[in-house]
Amino acid sequence: MNNLPSHLRSYIWLLFNYSMEYEKMEAEAIIYLKVLPMIATNLLPSRHT
């Protein structure tokens, strides 16, 4: 890894960080997609009454 040019190293580092962030965002999105409908169905009836 250390024999790579610095710009290539930083590019790989950026790619690695981006993929980690993306996986985190994907997990959060799945959580939101599962939780938000439940919250919505719990809030909507009480909001109407």
Per-residue pLDDT of the chain (49 residues; tens, 9 = 90+): 567 788 888 998 998 988 888 888 888 888 889 988 888 888 776 655 5
* pLDDT at site 49: 56
* pLDDT at site 46: 63
* pLDDT at site 4: 75
**Contact indicator for 12, 4 with CB cutoff of 8 Å:** yes
Segments making up each domain of the chain, as ranges: 1-49
* pLDDT at site 48: 56
What is the Rg, in whole angstroms, of the alpha carbon atoms belonging to the chain? Answer: 20
Find the Cα–Cα–Cα–Cα dihedral 11, 13, 16, 22, rounded to 10°: -80
* pLDDT at site 36: 86
* pLDDT at site 47: 57
